[in-house]
Chains A and B, each alone.
Chain A
Amino acid sequence: MNAIAYTLFLSWLFLSSYSAAAQTALTGQLLTEQQEPLPGALVELQSPARPEATAVTTTDRAGRFSLQVSWPGDSLVLSARALGFTEQVLRLANRSQRVSMTLAVSLTPLKEVTIKAPPIRREGDTLSYRVSAFTDKKDRVIADVLRKLPGVEVEADGRILYEGRPIQKFYINGADLLENRYNLASSNLPAEAVQDVQVLKRHQPVKALRGVQATEQASLNLELKKKVTATGQARLGVGATPALWNANLSPMLFTPRQQLLDTYQANNTGQDVAADLKPLGLGDFQQLLEPGNQKPDLTGIQGLSAPPLATGRYLFNRAHLLSANHLLPFSKEAQLRINASYLHDRQNQTGSTRTRFTLPDGRNVTLREEKQNRLYINQFTTDLAYVRNVQHYYLKNTLSVAGSWEAQDGLVQLTGQEQPVAQRATNPAYSLSNRLGLVRPAGGQRVVQVNSVVTLAASPQQLTVSPGPLPAVLADGRAYAGARQQARAETFYTANSVAFITGRRHWHYTYTAGFTQEIERLTSTLTRLPAPAAVPDSLRNGLRASQGRYYAQAGIDYKTARWHLELEAPLNYRTFRATDAGLNGYQQRRYLAAEPRLSGRYELSGLWHASGGAGFSNQFGSVQQLYYGYLLRDYRTLQRNAAPLTQTRSWNFNGGLFYENPLTSWFYRATYSFSVATRNQLARTLVRPDGTLTTVALAQLNQSRNQTVAGSVSKFVSDWKMTLGLQLSGSFSRQPLLLNDQLVTTRNQSGTARFRASLNTFDWGGLEYSAALTTLRNRLGTADFGATTAFQEQRLALSWYPAEQHTVQAAAEYYQSNGLDQPVRSTFVDATYRYTLPTARKVDVELKATNLLDTRRYQTTYTSGFILVQNNYQLRPRQALVAVRVSF
């Protein structure tokens, strides 16, 4: 037995004179009640005279121990502890002796602890947020949790930002099921299925490009608790008044090889199901908006723009959405992905618009319209993708087919006129596109990348207006029955490029050559009804336009632990040609332009980094802006653009400073950007006393400037489970324009402050508060004409969990719009009671009452340039809905 005790002292003890005390040696043995030796037990000796001192040893295989101390006093306390046994304490005389102790078996087990990981962890470039730390009892789907993560922001449409920049990819268990339509998952996936939300910083989604092409963009991954997860939610609700229904069935399956997310959603409660289909992220190769992917707005009814309110307050809909998303294994390394969806909706919009045009001489022209619109929407989209994303090979081919059939009915009552203006529009759109991306290593650190896109699109649109619009222009001032605008746009677009990427150590080079070609055909006719004998040529379009870009580009990327610099230096040869034989219109342009861009990031320390960039561009506007003949855009806007195509030369600069500390959960950022653009074309707008507008583009060089400054701070206080965030931004811009034949400069300023806090300190409740203040100000010319508007919103939401299965939520919202006339204030109060059935499967019964105060008035006011638009909306009345929700 060689166990010698080691003694512990308060340090001052060493300095005192206890060395004089005699040495006491204790030896002994610990036994179980069965008289078997007890090894591995902890034996501690203490002295009542010196409570700070303690001596500790562990028993050996034979249960024996020995301890030696030199302590004063006449007694000692010996205690023996072992796992599974009751502690035994003996008081002994302070002298050397042999002690034997028998320990009784203890039946009280020790608490097992599974302490969760810290709420936020950083491992390399991955930041993991533990979902359970940010979830409270009212949260059901993962989007509820995402908006509470510090450093992460979720915009109103569901777009997720990290450090103020949109995320690139949204993965579930590392697989990309939904591409950029990730709202489907974030708003339907139960939060309890998710273990961690991971932010993958500087994540290159193409495996073959990892280590070859660096990226600064972040992606998001949801790490589910189980490798094989079958989950989803089902919800069914009914309510009044009027009769309300809301249904959602979203089954999901995630396995290591296959993923599936299907959904059927239907409601007339104002929930915007189309938001789930909105593309939110960027594609694999960060394609910008390509022609053909978006429906051109050639003509249509005078709409009522959506207010910045939850859709449940103002949207009168009847929507059905069916969406199927499957990711299937195709071969060992390749996958097939199918995303198909169909949307059917009927929407009613009722409201009024007051538009005020401020003229250079200070006079105002005001127009008041009472609007009643009905929209019929049918949309079908299918993407079929083959993806092979492995280290030595990347191939992705996506075939997309989309069709939409939309009809719009509108009725506008103008103040001071007896007869309302009836409008009816149809604007279907069809498109077919194929997108190919290929990456292959070419030995060593060299990679070849090929991209190709081909798109075909067509959109035949028609608008009928009665009584006849703009009689001053279209019928020599005489009233007439009506007008019909027919317009058809056809687009062929292709973009192809080959890139060679190579690198060594800190340097990476990308050499790209490619071309894009866009061919656009626009035919249109504006006829008076009943049809006159002949339609003048100025009311027709027969445009054929083509626009091309042939380019060679060198990209240099320098990356070290601290620096990341990217330089892109393309040399673009741009061509453009447009003809309209019927109107003798013809224009052609070609030029060569260098358009360099430089951006960089520097790690000041592990927590701080700075980024900056500068760039120059010299490009044509879209050919869709061009039409030699008149087009009736809506019942009061007639436009013609026969000027040379816009060419914009712009410089832009930006910089930012970022701080990110996951250990203390502090996140700050400040950014600034400045741009100056020179255009060859000026808008010449004529505002008539009746509020009708004619806009013609004029060839005249002009310059506009834009500045934006923004900052934000967010913090998670983990002891309080509290997230705090503050965002500030301001922008200043100036732009010249020709208004009623007078050249003026408009200056716009805007400022926004946004604060949010969420507190989940207590088990029995939580609090969320957000506030935002936006002011807009504009000035026309040097004179002090113009307008200032302000918009304020505050939201307070309380959750209370009175007992295990009960949740009560109450929310109040306050809005104030300062525009023309008196400020308009709107207050909304909503309440929800939820009972969770005491079953293993989470079943909620929910009673939701919205707009308890039955507030009917809501106003927004925007101002920009010489126009101020003030909208009033008819809101949904007080209503109640009972719903059952199951997550499975």
Chain B
Amino acid sequence: MQLHSVGLFSNLNMNRLLISTILAFNTTVSYSQNKKMAESDSASVKCTYKITYQPDSTNIGSKNTESAFLLIGKTLSLYQYENKIKLDSAIDNNIRNNIQETKISNYPKANFWYRIYKKSSENQVTTIDYIGTKEYAYTETMPLFVWNISSESKNINGYNCRRATTSYAGRVWEAWYTTEIPFSEGPHKFSGLPGLILEIKDVKGYYEFKMSDITFKQNSLINFSNAGISYTTRNDFRKNKDNYEKNYVSIRIAQGGAIYGDEKTMRKIVSDNYNKRNNPIELK
């Protein structure tokens, strides 16, 4: 599989590089063995959140929007991004049909690849995210948030909501939740309030999650399986992911992988992209 030219990469971010890597190397990577686990639950609620975010804190023009789904079942919930689902199905479809789609720009642009499973009855939050093309999982124990509930209230889309604030991973968050929807849930890892979070934003305005749709139907199945996933801890994951993104070119060379175009240009692109993504949801 060949890519047209390096010029193509000039406006692409790290994730774009990863797609190309997935396409080029359908490799299986060894992972630390852990207990095989599979669990499924049927969702009774589907929430769609619109996320407005600014990946580069120095450039307000980098502001963008994406959609994410939160499926809530009895014992399991899943939070994942619409564009990642679209990207997965596009890649699957092309691999299955052996379509050699080489223009990366023809794939959906997905900026958030992670997904989060919450098992509230077991107080577990499991995040599955990528380093390169490889999936890693880490589990955190609830409660993750200490919420300060204020007496302020407002009506959001016909639901009476109350305000609560918390600080988490370097940001102060302001949430609006409703006790009328009986789930201690929210977008991303957010949870632990006596009702569903309809809106949450960081006070500096870099991230904002707003519920755009909610439907109550027994429709989707939430499947959790750890097959092919390596377990790690949050700290190790963050350290390694940062290291990988910063040193993508060197790591690929060390792995004996192909680099598109000349090494110096690639290094520059990778380092530019790294610097532009200076504002993740979780700062520390």
Name the residue among A42, A58, A59, A605 with the largest chain B CB count within 10 angstroms: A58
Residue contact A505 to B6, C-beta cutoff 8 Å: yes
A391 to B61, CA, bound (A): 29
Residue contact A39 to B157, C-beta cutoff 8 Å: no
A646 smallest CB distance to B (angstroms) = 45
Residue of B nearest to A128 (CB): B65
Query: Contacts A56-B193, A506-B10; is A112 near B215 (CB within 8 Å)?
Result: yes
A503 to B4, CA, bound (A): 13
A506 smallest CB distance to B (angstroms) = 7
Residue contact B45 to A83, C-beta cutoff 8 Å: yes
* Residue B25 interfacial (CB < 8 Å): no
> Which of B118-126, B227-235, B244-252 lines the interface with chain A?
B118-126
Query: Contacts A59-B121, A663-B63; is A113 near B192 (CB within 8 Å)?
Result: no
Residue contact A211 to B8, C-beta cutoff 8 Å: yes
**Which residues of chain A are near B215, meaning CB under 8 Å?**
112
Residue contact A56 to B192, C-beta cutoff 8 Å: yes
CB proximity to A under 8 Å, residues B198-225 = 210-216
Residue contact B63 to A122, C-beta cutoff 8 Å: yes
> Which of A7-15, A251-259, A280-288, A732-740 lines the interface with chain B?
A7-15
Residue contact A111 to B159, C-beta cutoff 8 Å: yes
Interface residues in A, total, Cβ within 8 A: 54
Residue of B nearest to A212 (CB): B7
Query: Contacts A40-B75, A61-B121; is A117 near B212 (CB within 8 Å)?
Result: yes
User: How large, as a class, is the contact surface on chain B?
Assistant: 35 or more
A11 to B145, CA, bound (A): 13
* Residue B130 interfacial (CB < 8 Å): no
Residue contact B65 to A61, C-beta cutoff 8 Å: no
Residue contact A605 to B61, C-beta cutoff 8 Å: yes
* Residue B89 interfacial (CB < 8 Å): no
CB proximity to B under 8 Å, residues A76-131 = 81-84, 87, 109-118, 121-124
* Residue A36 interfacial (CB < 8 Å): no
A743 to B168, CA, bound (A): 79
**Which residues of chain A are near B180, meaning CB under 8 Å?**
110
**Which residues of chain B are near A61, meaning CB under 8 Å?**
74-75, 121
**Which residues of chain A are near B214, meaning CB under 8 Å?**
112-113
Residue contact B74 to A10, C-beta cutoff 8 Å: no
Residue contact B6 to A40, C-beta cutoff 8 Å: no
**Which residues of chain B are near A606, meaning CB under 8 Å?**
59-63
A374 to B91, CA, bound (A): 67
A52 to B60, CA, bound (A): 37
Residue contact A115 to B74, C-beta cutoff 8 Å: no
**Which residues of chain A are near B183, meaning CB under 8 Å?**
40, 42, 58, 83
**Which residues of chain B are near A830, meaning CB under 8 Å?**
none
**Which residues of chain B are near A226, meaning CB under 8 Å?**
none
B8 smallest CB distance to A (angstroms) = 7
A41 to B182, CA, bound (A): 7
Residue contact A3 to B61, C-beta cutoff 8 Å: no
A121 to B212, CA, bound (A): 14
**Which residues of chain A are near B157, meaning CB under 8 Å?**
111, 113, 115
Residue contact B184 to A8, C-beta cutoff 8 Å: no
A55 smallest CB distance to B (angstroms) = 9
**Which residues of chain B are near A391, meaning CB under 8 Å?**
103
**Which residues of chain A are near B120, meaning CB under 8 Å?**
40, 57-58
A109 to B213, CA, bound (A): 16
Query: Contacts A42-B195, A58-B121; is A110 near B8 (CB within 8 Å)?
Result: no
**Which residues of chain A are near B210, meaning CB under 8 Å?**
115
Residue of B nearest to A1 (CB): B121
Query: Contacts A58-B121, A115-B211; is A9 near B73 (CB within 8 Å)?
Result: no
Residue contact B148 to A40, C-beta cutoff 8 Å: no
B210 smallest CB distance to A (angstroms) = 8
* Residue B52 interfacial (CB < 8 Å): yes
* Residue B20 interfacial (CB < 8 Å): no
A1-27 interface mask toward B, CB cutoff 8 Å, 1 = contact, 0 = none?
011101011110000000000000000
**Which residues of chain A are near B8, meaning CB under 8 Å?**
211
Residue of B nearest to A80 (CB): B182
Residue contact B7 to A504, C-beta cutoff 8 Å: yes
Residue contact A42 to B182, C-beta cutoff 8 Å: yes
A638 to B147, CA, bound (A): 87
Query: Contacts A113-B158, A115-B213, A606-B61; is A505 near B10 (CB within 8 Å)?
Result: yes
A852 smallest CB distance to B (angstroms) = 43
**Which residues of chain A are near B121, meaning CB under 8 Å?**
3, 39-40, 58-61
**Which residues of chain A are near B75, meaning CB under 8 Å?**
39-40, 60-61
* Residue B153 interfacial (CB < 8 Å): no
Residue contact B216 to A60, C-beta cutoff 8 Å: no
Residue contact B123 to A8, C-beta cutoff 8 Å: no
CB proximity to A under 8 Å, residues B121-170 = 121-123, 142-143, 146-149, 157-159, 164
Residue contact A663 to B192, C-beta cutoff 8 Å: no
Residue of A nearest to B180 (CB): A110
B5-34 interface mask toward A, CB cutoff 8 Å, 1 = contact, 0 = none?
111101100000000000000000000000
CB proximity to A under 8 Å, residues B48-100 = 50, 52, 59-65, 72-75
Residue of A nearest to B58 (CB): A605
A607 to B54, CA, bound (A): 13
Q: Could you count the A-B residue pairs with CB atoms below 8 Å apart for me: how many are there?
A: 135
Residue of A nearest to B158 (CB): A111
Query: Contacts A2-B122, A39-B121; is A445 near B182 (CB within 8 Å)?
Result: no
* Residue A44 interfacial (CB < 8 Å): yes
* Residue A568 interfacial (CB < 8 Å): no
Query: Contacts A40-B75, A503-B7; is A607 near B61 (CB within 8 Å)?
Result: yes
A561 to B159, CA, bound (A): 42
The one of B7, B123, B164, B184 that contacts A505, using a Cβ cutoff of 8 Å: B7
Query: Contacts A39-B121, A115-B211; is A603 near B61 (CB within 8 Å)?
Result: yes
A54 to B140, CA, bound (A): 22
Residue contact B123 to A2, C-beta cutoff 8 Å: yes
The one of B7, B143, B159, B216 that contacts A6, using a Cβ cutoff of 8 Å: B143
A41 to B74, CA, bound (A): 8
A81 to B143, CA, bound (A): 20
**Which residues of chain B are near A52, meaning CB under 8 Å?**
149
Residue of B nearest to A661 (CB): B60
A430-459 interface mask toward B, CB cutoff 8 Å, 1 = contact, 0 = none?
000000000000001100000000000000
A364 to B187, CA, bound (A): 78
Query: Contacts A9-B146, A111-B159, A112-B216; is A445 near B74 (CB within 8 Å)?
Result: no
Name the residue among B122, B158, B184 with the largest chain A CB count within 10 angstroms: B184
The one of A42, A60, A124, A504 that contacts B122, using a Cβ cutoff of 8 Å: A60
A823 to B265, CA, bound (A): 70
**Which residues of chain A are near B65, meaning CB under 8 Å?**
121-123
**Which residues of chain A are near B52, meaning CB under 8 Å?**
663
**Which residues of chain B are near A6, meaning CB under 8 Å?**
123, 142-143, 192
* Residue B280 interfacial (CB < 8 Å): no
Residue contact A110 to B149, C-beta cutoff 8 Å: no
The one of A8, A83, A113 that contacts B213, using a Cβ cutoff of 8 Å: A113
A112 to B211, CA, bound (A): 12
**Which residues of chain A are near B158, meaning CB under 8 Å?**
111, 113
* Residue B257 interfacial (CB < 8 Å): no
Residue of A nearest to B41 (CB): A40
Interface residues, chain A, CB within 8 Å of chain B?
2-4, 6, 8-11, 39-42, 44, 52, 54, 56-61, 81-84, 87, 109-118, 121-124, 211, 391, 444-445, 503-506, 561, 603, 605-607, 663
Listed A/B pairs (22) with beta-carbon separation below 8 Å? A6-B142, A6-B143, A6-B192, A8-B148, A9-B148, A40-B72, A40-B183, A42-B194, A56-B184, A57-B120, A58-B121, A60-B121, A82-B182, A83-B44, A113-B157, A115-B210, A122-B63, A505-B10, A605-B59, A606-B61, A606-B63, A607-B61
Interface residues, chain B, CB within 8 Å of chain A?
4-8, 10-11, 44-45, 50, 52, 59-65, 72-75, 103, 109, 120-123, 142-143, 146-149, 157-159, 164, 179-184, 192-195, 210-216
Please give 13 more A-B residue pairs, beta carbons under 8 A apart, in addition to A54-B194, A663-B52: A2-B123, A8-B149, A39-B74, A40-B121, A42-B184, A42-B194, A83-B44, A83-B183, A112-B215, A115-B212, A123-B64, A445-B4, A606-B60
